[in-house]
Amino acid sequence: MKTSSKCLCGAVELEIELSNTEIAACHCSMCRKWSGGPMLAIDSGELKSISNESLVTRYPSSEWAERGFCSQCGTHLFYFLKPANQYHFPIGLLDTDSNFTMTHQIFIDEKPDYYGFSNETENMTGAEVFALFAGDEQPK
């Protein structure tokens, strides 16, 4: 399923090929600081094209990941997990009316008590997420 997505100011447009409609919430402290709350993302997208790439800042938030945003309006465009060569896209960025389902929550052990989702999901702690990845790469 192909979807196109624009940042808030419209300068950056992404074409994304989605392979499913599953959404994950990440409660880790870095995602919450970056997003102002838990990050809701679709993690099965392929970035087909990106316009005005010179306006995209790729902030290296760790040795293994980059967080991309529009330099003009600050819209979050992607989380890029370098070892997996994988883009995760914030769900609010996508201009599509597909029926998405929140299927899992990660870093559930870092979720603060002041909010909680009522969705029925598979929940993983940070340690369980790390265990999924080879070596000691940390996917935050």
Q: How far is the CB of 120 from Zn ion (least distance, A)?
A: 21
Rounded least distance, CB 31 to Zn ion, Å: 3
Distance (Å, rounded) from C-alpha 21 to C-alpha 38? 18
Asked whether 78 and 69 are in contact (CB, 8 A), the reply is no
Q: How far is the CB of 118 from Zn ion (least distance, A)?
A: 21
Site for Zn ion, rule CB under 5 A? 7, 9, 11, 26, 28, 31, 70, 72-73
DSSP-derived 3-state class of residue 91: helix
Residue (1 or 73) nearer to Zn ion, CB: 73
The nearer residue to Zn ion, 3 or 34, going by C-beta atoms, is: 34
Spatial separation of the C-alpha atoms in residues 137 and 102, rounded to whole Å: 25
Q: Which one, of 78, 74, 100, lies nearest residue 87 by Cα?
A: 78
- When the beta carbons of 99 and 110 are compared against Zn ion, the nearer one is 110
